[in-house]
Amino acid sequence: MFGSRPRPGFAARIAFIGIALFAVSAGPAFGRAFMAEEQGNVSSGGQGTITVKGSTTARTSRANSLTVAQPGAVQDDVLVAVVTARLSPGGSITGPSGWTLIRRDSNIGGAALSQALYFKVASAFEPSSYTWRFSSAVGATAGVTDFAGVDTSAPIETAAGLYSANTKLIAAPSLTTWVDGSLVLGWYGNSADNAVAPPSGMSESFDVSTAQSNQASTSESASEYQENRGPTGYRVAMGSSKAKSTIGQSVALTPLEPPPAYRRGDGSALLRRASESKLSVEIREARTMPRIN
């Protein structure tokens, strides 16, 4: 109240906000505005470095192979591919040279269905397309998505898969990420010729189905940034009709650089943001203030 000496914490907040407002009002040379709190965690608002650049897809009603066009990757991009084929667990899928299998999941009962995920770090000279080969002629769909800003030394942080039968719902298992700013990918396939809607909160990259046949297949892909490391939760897509077999797979991509870490509101947020604009700011904590009369 008037006539009393403010608490030291309150004085610190006033001094800090005053400096922050000065910095923001100094003009466009600072590049951005910023805000910090005295207590609690302050989010950077960043989402890491990963961007989804584009996808290509392919489909066949029945064939021994499937070729997907290269989506325009440049050197050090990371390509992730999904192949959803009407193969039982005993059938084989052979990936193109230079691709690494992340995981494969297959039906347990139900209709024959296998879904395989692969990744590749793009070189300076990529071919115009990639071909996957099957042990028998089957219906299949596939997609390749191009990502930039991924840690090429360890692009795949973690992955999991889940098979379900006789359902519209396609569940991709929960993962636990270990890096802030990971990109969580959901890959959804089924044994039907139908549209698949992505899980709530995820952005769809593609949805491709075979033409109607007894070898129907659908592949769908979606993604979402996870600013903070930890459990992702199950991500459930929905087909427009029931399928005898469905497979959901989850993958987390490692960012080349995570977003700026959550910071205590002790002035470090201001210093970090200011340094990004090549400004040096000194914050002095005011421990006492003149009595207000």
Q: Are 227 and 180 in contact (CB under 8 A)?
A: yes
Kindly report, residue by residue over 140-161, the tens digit of the pLDDT.
Answer: 999 999 999 999 999 999 999 9
Kindly report, residue by residue over 3-12, the tens digit of the pLDDT.
Answer: 333 333 433 3
- Distance between CA atoms of residues 100 and 120, nearest Å: 6
- Distance between CA atoms of residues 221 and 141, nearest Å: 12
Q: Are 245 and 165 in contact (CB under 8 A)?
A: yes
Enter the tokens of residue 36. 């910090």
- Structure confidence at residue 212 (pLDDT): 72
- Detail the DSSP E strand segments found in 86-232: 93-94, 100-106, 114-121, 129-148, 156-172, 176-177, 182-190, 196-197, 203-209, 218-226, 230-231
- Structure confidence at residue 47 (pLDDT): 61
- Distance between CA atoms of residues 182 and 41, nearest Å: 20
Average pLDDT over residues 28-39: 28
The H or E element that residue 252 is part of is: strand 235-253
Alpha helix stretches (DSSP H) within the chain: 8-25, 268-276
Q: Average per-residue pLDDT in the chain?
A: 80
Q: What ranges do the domains of the chain cover?
A: 1-45+261-293, 51-253
- Structure confidence at residue 272 (pLDDT): 44
Average pLDDT over residues 41-67: 79
CA angle, corner 106, sides to 100 and 110, nearest 5? Answer: 165
- Structure confidence at residue 211 (pLDDT): 79
Average pLDDT over residues 210-221: 90
With a pLDDT cut of 90, the percent of the chain lying above it is 69
Give the position of tokens 């914050």: 283
131: confidence class by pLDDT, cuts 50, 70, 90? very high
Kindly report, residue by residue over 269-287, the tens digit of the pLDDT.
Answer: 434 444 443 333 333 343 3
